[in-house]
Amino acid sequence: MENKVRRPKRLISKTILALLDFTLIAMSFYTGYIIRVHLPGVSQMNLPPALPIHLYSKYLFAFLIWLITFYYEGLYTKYLTRSEEFIKITKGTTISSAFAALLFYTLQVQPSFSRLAFFISYIISIFFLWFGRIIAKVLLYELKIYREKAVFWGNSIEIEWFRKIIEKEKNCGIEVAAHIKNYNLKELEKVVDEIKPSLIVVGGVPIEDIKKIEPLAWTYGIEILINAFNSTLNPQELEVVEFFGFKSLKLKYSLLIPQNVTIKRALDLIITIPLIILTIPLFVIIGIAVKLSSKGPVIYKSDRIGKDGRIFKIYKFRTMYMNSDEILKNFLKQNPVIADEYEKFRKIKSVYDPRVTPVGKFLRKTSLDELPQLFNVIKGEMSLVGPRPYLPEEYVIIEDVEDVILSVKPGLTGLWQVSGRNALSFEEKIMLELYYVKNWNIFLDIAILLKTIPEIFKGSGAY
């Protein structure tokens, strides 16, 4: 029994997004063709200077493949962050382009469409669609067309995490209208009656209390989402599959599948080798700056826990003074409040870390100190994306989840790094790392790598 006011707004927003997608796909093909025509040193094959739209207009129906695929991927029905949307757009566009290419070949489209123009259009369309949807969703959110009110109920690390993400992401179309942190059912009913939300997000609430709010769904037409991280069966670890005609729950461990490991390693090498060649001048400049800033080696080597618990040497540009351990010990002894902070985050966040050199501060802020880890990737000790490379003394922190986290290579960047970096607590980092290992796919890696670039320039959460 859905709210009658809510239904037309959802229909309007979905229609606008579908029309926008259709337009952006058409624009991508037009742009790809124009780029192809003007590429220097490439045979033009008597191509006209502009896309002859009248010759191809009868094939515009093929763009419906994108809309159908996007609908199947949940781009019109699911709540998505920008990163999740990029992954689904990339996946949906790849599938649609493959089907469209097969269709054009089968229909023997005349005049023949340039294969290079098609490939250029495919790459362009991913970014046209992503940026176009971000702008459109923000505008629709501000106009209150694409906006669903949500009430959060419960008190746990996970639900606090979701609330913070949603408050930052207008792209997902959810407005946090209230957050009730106690288990008082009467208070929840009162808030729901006043706000009339579209969604109740529950986390850390006893299952017997969750069952009691089911009548609210019928009375107000509300969706209820349960973030059952602390339950016996964690939904982040499960996949619903058909098994002899019945729905069954399958445990997910994406990065334990051999072919996935092979694909991930290939992606590492394809990106890392050219990146090292391109950044050789940067290595030289940073090396000279580190050497001139203070006494000691340019490269700092430190023990880290790798795959299967093996210890390896991680490479970084040195950012600290050589007597950093002595400086830290004296500093924490004189500042007990900072000592508590260091115990929680294993970082000094609220004040300037006295162990760090001036050059080191810049390198850490921009994450350039981690550039030498590209050689750890080449050696196969690390991956470009993965869990945090933990210190041996931090083993105690992950011992409850070591079987999962240490089953894969640590990463130069990771889901935790593009979601707040060192501003996150250890509990939040571990939550994200478990999600990454169990839900890995190549599109997730690409999205994390792309999101790492602006995070480096912002420098937020880096210490």
Q: Are 16 and 74 members of one domain?
A: yes
Picking from 217, 232, 247, the residue at the C-terminal end of a domain is 232
Asked if residue 47 is part of any domain, the answer here is yes
CATH number, domain containing residue 156: 3.40.50.2300
Q: Are 404 and 307 members of one domain?
A: yes
pLDDT at residue number 43: 54
Distance CA 209, CA 193 (A): 18
Domain count of the fold of the chain: 3
Q: Are 160 and 228 members of one domain?
A: yes
For residue 89 the two structure tokens come to: 């757009």
Q: Are 29 and 88 members of one domain?
A: yes
Asked if residue 342 is part of any domain, the answer here is no
Distance CA 190, CA 130 (A): 39
Asked if residue 332 is part of any domain, the answer here is no
Contacts of 225-234 with C-beta under 8 Å, sequence gap 24+, read 225/199, 225/200, 225/201, 226/202, 227/156, 227/158, 227/159, 227/162, 227/201, 227/202, 227/203, 228/203, 229/156, 229/158, 229/203, 229/431, 230/156, 230/158, 230/204, 231/207
pLDDT at residue number 118: 84
Strand 199-203 and strand 223-227: the pairing is parallel
Total-model pTM: 0.62
Averaged pLDDT, 174-193: 85
Asked if residue 347 is part of any domain, the answer here is no
* CB-CB neighbours of 30 under 10 Å: 17
Q: Are 33 and 87 members of one domain?
A: yes
pLDDT tens per residue across span 362-388: 898 888 899 999 999 999 999 999 998
Q: Are 377 and 442 members of one domain?
A: yes
Picking from 121, 142, 163, the residue at the C-terminal end of a domain is 142
For residue 70 the two structure tokens come to: 């996007």
> What integer best gives the mean pLDDT of the chain?
81
Q: Are 154 and 199 members of one domain?
A: yes
393: helix, coil or strand?
Answer: helix
> In Å, how far from its chain's centre is CA 203?
22
Domain hosting 155: range is 148-232
Picking from 106, 127, 142, the residue at the C-terminal end of a domain is 142
Asked if residue 312 is part of any domain, the answer here is yes
Distance CA 454, CA 387 (A): 20
Q: pLDDT grade, residue 463 (50/70/90)?
A: very low
Q: pLDDT grade, residue 191 (50/70/90)?
A: confident
Cα-based distances in Å from 246 to 241, 249, 253: 8, 10, 22
Asked if residue 429 is part of any domain, the answer here is yes
Q: Are 138 and 157 members of one domain?
A: no
Q: Could you give the dihedral angle defined by the CA atoms of residues 391, 310, 296 and 367, in that order, rounded to the nearest 10 degrees?
A: -60
Asked if residue 329 is part of any domain, the answer here is no
Q: pLDDT grade, residue 436 (50/70/90)?
A: confident
Asked if residue 240 is part of any domain, the answer here is no
Q: Are 33 and 166 members of one domain?
A: no
350: left (phi over 0), alpha (psi -120 to 50) or beta: alpha
Q: Are 228 and 268 members of one domain?
A: no
* 16: Cβ contacts below 8 Å, ≥ 6 apart: 136, 140, 145
Q: Are 55 and 182 members of one domain?
A: no
Distance CA 95, CA 98 (A): 5
Q: Are 178 and 300 members of one domain?
A: no
Distance CA 26, CA 20 (A): 10
